[in-house]
Amino acid sequence: MIDTLIDITLLAFLTITAIAIIRINNLFVIIMLFGIFSLHSAGLFVVMDAADVAFTEAAVGAGIATVLMLGTLALTREHEEKKVAHRTRLPLLVVLITTIALVYGTYDIPSFGDPAAPAQQHVKPRYIDHSIEETGVANTVTAVLASYRGYDTLGEVTVIFTAGIGVMLLIGGRLLRRNRREDDE
């Protein structure tokens, strides 16, 4: 019961934050709200028994992503306030149609927390029952991440590494070359 209450409250907070992010134009406020959004979703992950995920989301979403966005804001800040133009009609229509389609789709989804749902019937019992005797690791998430799906994780780490290389290629170099050319001219 208390779980459900916390769940509902946190989801309501998330909704409010998302609406605020849409409506506010001050970028600094948006980034701070995004940090709050991540922290709330981390809390929600704890309620939904995903301790490992909550850990990561709290450190990544509320920590690193917010800091990186603030760093970008500091580099791209515009000094004069601008009147922001944005289209609303067409995007709103597209979003409404997609929402209706998705909500219609939820009627086929098994109800939240249903132990008989198809997602709980396959693969999972195998991991839960045999992971401890096969790998000797009590935390099933670690066992699946590192052992059963080792290839997958190798791919993920490579993606992270590649993204890091991409960032370095894009903005890692100094601004020297263009400045020198301007000096020559």
Partner 1 sequence: MKHNLILRVIAKYLFPVIALFAFYVQFHGDYGPGGGFQAGVILSVAFIFYALVFGLETTEQVLPPYLLRLLASTGILIYAGTGVATMLMGGNFLDYDLLAKNPVAGQHLGIMMIELGVGISVCAVMLLIFFVIAGRGRS
Partner 2 sequence: MIDIILDHYNYWIVIFLMMSGFYTVISQGNLIKKIAGINIFQTSVFLLYISIGYVDDGTPPIIAEGYTTYANPLPHVLILTAIVVGVSTTALGLALVIRIKEAYSTIEEDEIHDKDKSL
**Residues 59 to 88 in contact with partner 1, rule: CB under 8 A:** 59-60, 63-64, 67-68, 71-72, 74-75
Q: What single-letter DSSP state applies at residue 115?
A: T
Taking the complex as a whole, the smallest distance from the CB of residue 168 to partner 2 amounts, in Å, to 9
CB 21, CB 37: distance < 8 Å = yes
* Residue 120 contact, options partner 2, partner 1, none, Cβ 5-8 Å cut-off depending on partner type: partner 2
CA distance 183 to 185: 5
- Confirm or reject binding of residue 6 to partner 2 (CB under 8 A): no
- Confirm or reject binding of residue 16 to partner 2 (CB under 8 A): no
Query: Applying CB under 8 A, which of residues 5, 134, 150, 163 lies at the interface with partner 2?
Result: 163
CA distance 163 to 171: 12
- Confirm or reject binding of residue 117 to partner 2 (CB under 8 A): yes
Q: Where are the alpha helices (DSSP H) in 48-88?
A: 51-59, 66-76
- Confirm or reject binding of residue 129 to partner 1 (CB under 8 A): no
What six digits make up the tokens of 179? Answer: 């400045």
By CB neighbour count within 10 A (0-12 exposed, 13-18 middle, 19+ buried), where does 16 fall? middle
* Residue 150 contact, options partner 2, partner 1, none, Cβ 5-8 Å cut-off depending on partner type: partner 1
CA distance 71 to 114: 43
- Confirm or reject binding of residue 180 to partner 1 (CB under 8 A): no
- Confirm or reject binding of residue 21 to partner 2 (CB under 8 A): yes
Residues of this chain, 26-45, that bind partner 2 according to CB under 8 A: 27, 30-31, 34, 37-38, 41, 44-45
- Confirm or reject binding of residue 182 to partner 1 (CB under 8 A): no
CB 28, CB 78: distance < 8 Å = no
